[in-house]
Amino acid sequence: MPVLTTDAESETGIPKSLSNEPPSETMEEIEHTCPQPRLTLTAPAPFADETSCQCQAPHEKLTIAQARLGTPVDRPVRVYADGIFDLFHSGHARALMQAKTLFPNSYLLVGVCSDDLTHKFKGFTVMNEAERYEALRHCRYVDEVIRDAPWTLTPEFLEKHKIDFVAHDDIPYSSAGSDDVYKHIKEAGMFVPTQRTEGISTSDIITRIVRDYDVYARRNLQRGYTAKELNVSFINEKKYRFQNQVDKMKEKVKNVEERSKEFVNRVEEKSHDLIQKWEEKSREFIGNFLELFGPDGAWKQMFQERSSRMLQALSPKQSPVSSPTRSRSPSRSPSPTFSWIPSKTSPPSSPKAASASISSMSEGDEDEK
């Protein structure tokens, strides 16, 4: 969209061409050609010296309220955030996310200070400047990376990159002989605060490494780094290697203990299962036994039936009460009936007497015939 340029501004900081007063000077229409925010994330963010803003249209001064309403509509609001970004972490990413989402249409420029400036004003870094530049290029919120950014922002730098607002946390940053390097930015109304992420910072990460130095030294020795690369003395190297061996033995013992516990637990589980199965089988056995041999069991009934059959088979049949008389022949007379009454005499005193009595009885029988 074309923009009307003017040299004069109203008291509110808005160009007169946008106010209610009619323009007093001849105006020239110039279109904005500022780079637009990245729409795809298939490539890293470009460096500023590769895609610098060559727009000739003047950038009118904006207020924060105007930018939040989405003006101007013909170009994005250019937001600048700077830092060291050593050991790039989630706290850095969250700060850049806040800077990117301050306004509806924002173009985020990120300035990264060089090693020389950082070592001079802050201290030694873990990552060198090239590594830090590349880390920022691959952050999804960044549209452009400015290498070798100044420690203190100057009007010339702001004008060169056509920066509308500067985003940083609101804590005064004292450095380079100043109580707050962003003081003049705040006074100019170009400062937009962001919130720090508690619990994570580059200093905290370095503190953890220094605190657990022995652990990380042993870890890297175990991974194949030499003592010279780790700046470890000969004695410490042997000590660390011995500790690694001890830790390995402890780990083996721990694994054996865990396996033994697992084995014991399995045995206990199987024993419980066996006991339960035994109880179930014993109940079933007792129930079947009672069904067979109980008071009303099937075995008792079967035994009674069989015993009754055996008794019937063994007992003699009873003779009939009255039987028909048989016809006798007339030639035969009925034999006389008699009953033998044993005498109450004393038994024979000798074998001879017994034989004599038996012979007399036999004679008597022959006479009867």
What is the reported pLDDT for 36? 81
Preceding amide of 44 cis, omega within 30? no
Specify the CATH superfamily of domain 64-199.
HUPs (3.40.50.620)
Instruction: Please choose, from the candidates 169, 173, 154, 62, the residue with its C-alpha nearest in 3D space to the C-alpha of residue 107.
Output: 62
Token representation of residue 368: 């009867």
Phi, psi of 78 (to 5 degrees): -90, 115
- DSSP code for 303: H
Question: How do the pLDDT tens digits run along the chain, 369 residues long?
Answer: 333 333 434 333 333 333 334 444 434 566 666 778 887 788 899 998 887 666 666 778 888 999 998 878 788 999 999 999 999 999 999 999 999 999 999 999 999 999 999 999 999 999 999 999 999 999 999 999 999 999 999 999 999 999 999 999 999 988 867 889 999 999 999 999 999 999 999 999 999 999 999 889 988 988 899 999 988 888 888 888 888 888 888 888 888 888 888 888 888 888 888 888 888 888 888 877 777 776 766 766 777 777 888 878 877 665 555 555 554 544 444 555 444 444 444 555 555 555 555 555 555 544 444
What is the reported pLDDT for 27? 41
112, β-bridge pairs = 83, 147
What is the reported pLDDT for 246? 86
How far, CA to CA in Å, does 189 sit from each of 154, 164, 183, 248? 15, 10, 10, 61
CA-to-CA distance for 186 and 174, rounded, in angstroms?
14
Instruction: Please choose, from the candidates 182, 203, 159, the residue with its C-alpha nearest in 3D space to the C-alpha of residue 82.
Output: 182
254, β-bridge pairs = none
Instruction: Please choose, from the candidates 19, 48, 18, the residue with its C-alpha nearest in 3D space to the C-alpha of residue 34.
Output: 48
What is the reported pLDDT for 236? 86
Instruction: Please choose, from the candidates 165, 117, 112, 109, the residue with its C-alpha nearest in 3D space to the C-alpha of residue 142.
Output: 109
Q: What is the residue extent of each domain of the chain?
A: 64-199, 203-293
Q: Chain-centre distance of CA 361, in angstroms?
A: 118
CA torsion, ordered 55, 57, 60, 66, to nearest 10 deg: -70
CA-to-CA distance for 223 and 77, rounded, in angstroms?
48
CA-to-CA distance for 135 and 133, rounded, in angstroms?
5
- DSSP code for 316: P
pTM of the model: 0.59
CA-to-CA distance for 360 and 217, rounded, in angstroms?
137
- DSSP code for 62: -
CA-to-CA distance for 92 and 96, rounded, in angstroms?
6
What is the reported pLDDT for 6? 36
What is the reported pLDDT for 9? 41
CA-to-CA distance for 140 and 354, rounded, in angstroms?
142
What is the reported pLDDT for 206? 94
